[in-house]
């Protein structure tokens, strides 16, 4: 019986020591040095080592001074590796776990930029572009006075041009096939949904052309009066003059 108690005491001590090793405490200086090491890797574009170091900080000292910094740079590391889905997850994790962090604003913006980077060529599916545009609007609503607001407005224009381009090309395809009624649907959609896009005046021009082909000459001329010719290409200006009888 005595031997059994001794064995149990030894096993208990071993377990206590093991737990103590697992729950090793870290000082602020430890984490400071670890974070500096991670930033050195990051600046040298050693993404693998940077990721390992920042991950170590986040999981071993989640309540520490450098936890949100490390979390942000996990997102930045993934972004620089063009692993945008991973970057989005990392930025979202920062916003969720450290809402008062000094990096929250930037993390939210970088998440938006990652969504924009995932937006495909305008000829492909439009859903990722729509998600990116929604994220830009959400960012502006959340941070109306952010330093990134001018860039956000540029992205809105860029994304809207991409979506307008898709509609415009669909209309042009139907026009080429001489399905003028169907083409009109798309050209009008460009004007109604994206009035500030770079395809606005061209869509009005092609709407006027389709109306002319459908025998609606008066309506065609009225549409031409709405066009700013400075926004047309040389080919489109020639088309404008032809329709206008010049």
Tell me whether residue 128 is in a domain: no
Domain hosting residue 108, numbered range:
29-118
Residue that is last in its domain, among 59, 86, 118: 118
Same domain, 168 and 236: yes
Look at residue 26 and give its three-state secondary structure: coil
Tell me whether residue 182 is in a domain: yes
**Which residues does 239 contact at the CB level (< 8 Å), separation at least 6?**
205, 209
Tell me whether residue 73 is in a domain: yes
- pTM confidence score: 0.77
Residue that is last in its domain, among 64, 94, 118: 118
The CATH code of the domain that includes 110 is 1.25.40.10
Cβ contacts of 82-88, under 8 Å, gap ≥ 24 = 82/117, 84/114, 84/115, 84/117, 84/118, 85/114, 85/118, 87/111, 87/114, 88/114, 88/115
Same domain, 171 and 111: no
- The answer to whether the beta carbons of residues 199 and 168 sit under 8 Å apart is yes
DSSP assignment of 97-160: H-TTSTTHHHHHHHHHHHHHHH---TTS-SHHHHHHHHHHHHHHHH-TT-TTHHHHHHHHHHHH
Select from 103, 16, 17, 29 the least CA-distant residue to 61: 29
Tell me whether residue 204 is in a domain: yes
Tell me whether residue 127 is in a domain: no
Residue that is last in its domain, among 84, 118, 152: 118
Dihedral, 141, 145, 148, 154 alpha carbons, nearest 10: 60
pLDDT tens digits for 19-66? 444 445 567 677 889 999 999 999 999 999 999 999 999 999 888 999
Q: How confident is the model at residue 111 (pLDDT cuts 50, 70, 90)?
A: very high
Instruction: Report the domain count for the chain.
Output: 2
> What span, in angstroms and rounded, lies between the C-alpha atoms of 212 and 22?
79
Tell me whether residue 138 is in a domain: no
pLDDT tens digits for 90-102? 999 999 999 999 9
> What span, in angstroms and rounded, lies between the C-alpha atoms of 235 and 221?
18
CA 97 vs CA 58, 173, 228: distances in Å: 11, 49, 50
Task: Examine the pLDDT at 78 and tell me if it is beyond 80.
Answer: yes
25-34, 117-126, 207-216: range with highest mean pLDDT: 207-216
Tell me whether residue 16 is in a domain: no
């Amino acid at each position: 019986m005595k031997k059994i108690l001794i064995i149990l005491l030894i096993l208990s001590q071993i377990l206590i020591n093991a737990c103590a090793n697992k729950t090793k405490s870290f000082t602020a200086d430890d984490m400071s040095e670890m974070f500096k090491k991670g930033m050195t890797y990051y600046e040298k574009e050693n993404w693998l080592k940077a990721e390992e170091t920042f991950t170590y900080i986040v999981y071993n000292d989640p309540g520490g001074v450098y936890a949100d910094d490390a979390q942000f740079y996990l997102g930045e590391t993934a972004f620089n590796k063009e692993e945008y889905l991973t970057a989005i997850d990392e930025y979202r994790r920062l916003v969720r776990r450290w809402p008062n962090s000094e990096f929250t604003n930037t993390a939210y913006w970088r998440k938006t930029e990652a969504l924009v980077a995932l937006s495909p060529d305008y000829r492909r599916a439009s859903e990722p572009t729509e998600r990116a545009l929604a994220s830009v609007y959400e960012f502006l609503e959340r941070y109306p006075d952010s330093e990134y607001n001018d860039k956000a407005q540029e992205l809105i224009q860029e994304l809207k041009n991409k979506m307008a381009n898709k509609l415009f090309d669909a209309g042009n395809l139907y026009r080429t096939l001489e399905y003028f009624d169907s083409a009109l649907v798309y050209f009008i959609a460009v004007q109604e949904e994206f009035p500030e896009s770079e395809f606005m005046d061209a869509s009005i021009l092609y709407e006027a052309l389709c109306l002319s082909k459908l025998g609606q000459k008066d309506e065609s001329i009225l549409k031409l009066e709405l066009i700013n010719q400075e926004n047309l290409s040389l080919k489109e200006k020639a088309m404008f003059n032809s329709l206008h009888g010049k």
